[in-house]
Amino acid sequence: MANPSLLILPGDGIGPEVMAEVKKIIDWYGDKRGLRFDVSEDLVGGAAYDAHGTPLADATMAKAQEVDAVLLGAVGGPKYDKLDFSVKPERGLLRLRKEMDLFSNLRPAQCFDALADFSSLKKEVVAGLDIMIVRELTSGVYFGEPRGIFTEGNERVGINTQRYTESEIARVARSAFELARRRGNKVCSMEKANVMESGILWREVVQKVHDEEYPDVELSHMYADAGAMQLCRWPKQFDVIVTDNLFGDLLSDAAAMLTGSLGMLPSASLGAPMANGRPKALYEPVHGSAPDIAGQGKANPIACILSFAMALRYSFDQGAEADRLEKAVEKVLADGVRTADLMGPEGGKPVSTAEMGNAVVAALDASL
């Protein structure tokens, strides 16, 4: 049987640095667990623009469609700020999401016990936090038409259109309900049904999918702005949150800081099942390319490592090995190993990106 295939797209800024540590983990699984992958590597974002004049070459897009999973680092940087919007690095990532039809974006917010003091909230509010935000990823205001900047009379007008079909809402709702059945069996759907027609439709469709297909799952509805407030007040009231593209973008970044650092949070973007029954999938850390620290060995690779753990779980049916990797990360943090972003007021000497990766590999060794 052929090895599962994995396309690595390191991207820009700290992307190549954090991805180098994931490669160590991939090699460890091949050497120590007999779990081998056919790994290929290519360019995305600014790196692709520099090489090909486009943030994602057609050949790379075709490769992404063929593999079992894509693992991406980060895209963007100030060097590309003046490029035309159509070729900015971020367009490469958006093309991957759109053409692979990765409609369900899973963003966990988990607070490891060792980092509970690093959140801006009180320790008792965040300790033990484990929630999942399911964000619709391929429709809504980021993709709706008409869009653009137009001239009306004597001034310019910027237009973006919030647009959702019933089927687009229903499929991401199913993704959230299925996930909830494997977790706390509770879903909170967030929208703005009080002021937006798309929000009214969202609430109606989610409720219909629940009533007809998932009556065993507890469902609640909440306005997205109230949801943001509740995430800061008492986040542990939630298990799975499902929401649209724009609100999901905002709420997941707010949830990210509950855990103490953006450098800790992975994500999975899942699509429809392929012929092998597994979903098309792209895995990436939530953080950006952090050009201010790129090339300095200061980046935290944990979010990218945990993104690979999500790939083990959702694309490669290796839930036990995903648990092993997540527990290795937890052990490293409990042992006090910290990159610069995780240093507390007591100070100390942070480890480098490579040293953090090596520490996770050592914890994996200890798990055998």
Q: Which amino acid, residue 105?
A: N
Known binding residue 80? Answer is yes
* Known catalytic residue at 314: no
- Please say whether the beta carbons of 322 and 266 come within 8 A: no
335 is an annotated ligand-binding site residue: no
CA pair distance 321, 324, nearest whole angstrom: 5
Q: Determine if residue 29 is labeled as part of a ligand binding site.
A: no
| Of 142, 164, 283, 314, catalytic | 142
Q: Among this protein's residues, is 186 annotated catalytic? A: no
Is 198 marked as a binding-site residue?
A: no
Confirm whether residue 135 is marked as ligand binding. yes
84 is in an annotated binding site: yes
The question of whether 249 is a catalytic residue gets the answer yes
Catalytic residue, from 27, 50, 101, 253: name it: 253
**Does 217 count as an annotated binding residue?**
no
DSSP E strands in the chain: the ranges are 5-11, 38-41, 69-74, 104-110, 130-136, 144-152, 155-161, 186-191, 218-223, 240-243, 266-273, 279-285
Q: Which of 225, 236, 323, 327 is catalytic?
A: 225
- How big is the chain, counted in residues? 368
Is there a binding annotation on residue 313? no
Supply the DSSP string of 86-108, one letter for each residue: GGSHHHHHHHHHHHTT--EEEEE
- The answer on whether 283 is annotated among ligand-binding residues is no
SS3 163: coil
Whether omega before 78 lies within 30 degrees of 0, making that bond cis, reads: no
Quote the tokens at residue 261.
Answer: 């650092």
Q: Which helix (H) or strand (E) holds 246?
A: helix 245-258
Asked if 225 is an active-site residue, the reply is yes
- Structure tokens belonging to residue 295: 């090339």
Q: Which residue, 105, 360, 118, 130, is CA-closest to 262?
A: 118
Residue 253 known to bind ligand: yes
**87 carries a ligand binding annotation:** yes
**Does the annotation list 38 as a binding residue?**
no
Question: Is 110 annotated in some ligand binding site?
Answer: no
Catalytic residue among 49, 249, 314, 341: 249
Catalytic member of 192, 214, 314, 341 = 192
Question: Would the annotation count 258 as a binding residue?
Answer: no
Q: Which residues are annotated as a binding site?
A: 77-90, 97, 107, 135, 225, 249, 253, 288-300
Annotated binding site for NAD(+): 77-90, 288-300
Catalytic positions are 142, 192, 225, 249, 253
Binding-site residues for Mg(2+): 225, 249, 253
Binding site members for substrate: 97, 107, 135, 225
